[in-house]
A and B are shown apart, each in its own frame.
Chain A
Amino acid sequence: MSQSDQAAKTNWALLFMGWLLVSVSTTISLFFSSVLDYEPCVLCWYQRMCLFPMIFILGAGLFPTFDKSVIKYALPLSIAGGLTAFYHTLLYAGIIPENIQPCSQGVSCTEKYIELFGFVSIPMLSFLAFSAIVALLLILKRRTS
Chain B
Amino acid sequence: MKYVLVGLSCAVLGLLFFFASTYYKGQQVEKYGFMAEKNAELFVRDYSPTLGSDDAKVYIVEFMDPACETCAAFEPFIKKIMAANPGKIKLVLRYAPFHDGADNFVKILEAARMQGKYWETLDVMFKSQGVWANHGQYQPEKLWDIIPRAGVNVEQIRKDMHSPAIAKIIEQDMADVKALNVQKTPGYFVNGKPLQTFGYEQLHQLIKSELDRQYPQ
Instruction: Give me the interface of A with B, judged by CB distance under 8 Å.
Output: 12, 16, 19-20, 23-24, 27, 30-31, 35-37, 39, 59, 62-64
Instruction: Establish whether residues B13 and A19, one from each chain, have CB atoms under 8 Å apart when the complex forms.
Output: no
Residue of B nearest to A28 (CB): B17
Q: A12, A20, A63: which contacts B9 (Cβ < 8 A)? A: A20
- Whether B5 sits at the interface, judged by CB under 8 Å, is yes
Q: How many A-B residue pairs have CB under 8 A?
A: 31
- Scoring B2, B10, B16, B181 by chain A CB atoms within 10 A of each residue's CB, the highest score goes to B2
Instruction: Establish whether residues A23 and B9, one from each chain, have CB atoms under 8 Å apart when the complex forms.
Output: yes
Q: Mark B156-182, 1 if CB is under 8 A from A, else 0.
A: 000000000000000000000000010
- How near does chain B come to A37, taking the closest CB pair, in angstroms? 6
Instruction: Establish whether residues B13 and A23, one from each chain, have CB atoms under 8 Å apart when the complex forms.
Output: yes
Instruction: Establish whether residues A23 and B5, one from each chain, have CB atoms under 8 Å apart when the complex forms.
Output: no
Instruction: Establish whether residues B6 and A62, one from each chain, have CB atoms under 8 Å apart when the complex forms.
Output: yes
Assembly CA distance A12 to B3 (angstroms): 12
- How near does chain A come to B187, taking the closest CB pair, in angstroms? 11
Residue of B nearest to A24 (CB): B13
- How near does chain A come to B100, taking the closest CB pair, in angstroms? 11
Residue of A nearest to B13 (CB): A27
Instruction: Establish whether residues A37 and B183, one from each chain, have CB atoms under 8 Å apart when the complex forms.
Output: yes
Question: Known contacts A35-B24, A37-B183: does B2 contact A12 (CB below 8 Å)?
Answer: yes
Assembly CA distance A58 to B183 (angstroms): 36
Assembly CA distance A121 to B2 (angstroms): 34
Interface of B, helix, strand, loop or mixed by DSSP: helix
Instruction: Establish whether residues A23 and B10, one from each chain, have CB atoms under 8 Å apart when the complex forms.
Output: yes
Residue of B nearest to A23 (CB): B13
Instruction: Establish whether residues B6 and A31, one from each chain, have CB atoms under 8 Å apart when the complex forms.
Output: no
Instruction: Establish whether residues B2 and A63, one from each chain, have CB atoms under 8 Å apart when the complex forms.
Output: yes
Assembly CA distance A31 to B25 (angstroms): 12
Instruction: Establish whether residues A16 and B21, one from each chain, have CB atoms under 8 Å apart when the complex forms.
Output: no
Instruction: Establish whether residues A35 and B21, one from each chain, have CB atoms under 8 Å apart when the complex forms.
Output: yes
Residues of chain B contacted by A27 (CB below 8 angstroms) = 13, 16-17
Instruction: Establish whether residues A16 and B6, one from each chain, have CB atoms under 8 Å apart when the complex forms.
Output: yes
8 A Cβ contacts from B17-62 to A: 17, 20-21, 24-25
Assembly CA distance A19 to B6 (angstroms): 9
Instruction: Establish whether residues A30 and B9, one from each chain, have CB atoms under 8 Å apart when the complex forms.
Output: no
Residue of A nearest to B16 (CB): A27
Residues of chain A contacted by B2 (CB below 8 angstroms) = 12, 62-64
> Can you name 24 A-B pairs with beta carbons within 8 Å?
A12-B2, A19-B6, A20-B9, A23-B9, A23-B10, A23-B13, A24-B13, A27-B13, A27-B16, A27-B17, A30-B17, A31-B17, A31-B20, A31-B21, A35-B17, A35-B20, A35-B24, A36-B24, A37-B183, A62-B2, A62-B6, A63-B2, A63-B3, A64-B2
Instruction: Establish whether residues B13 and A59, one from each chain, have CB atoms under 8 Å apart when the complex forms.
Output: no
Assembly CA distance A27 to B2 (angstroms): 21
Assembly CA distance A23 to B13 (angstroms): 8
Residues of chain B contacted by A20 (CB below 8 angstroms) = 9
- How near does chain A come to B143, taking the closest CB pair, in angstroms? 26
- How near does chain B come to A40, taking the closest CB pair, in angstroms? 13
- How near does chain B come to A133, taking the closest CB pair, in angstroms? 16
Residues of chain A contacted by B24 (CB below 8 angstroms) = 35-36
Residues of chain B contacted by A63 (CB below 8 angstroms) = 2-3
Assembly CA distance A30 to B21 (angstroms): 11
- How near does chain A come to B172, taking the closest CB pair, in angstroms? 23
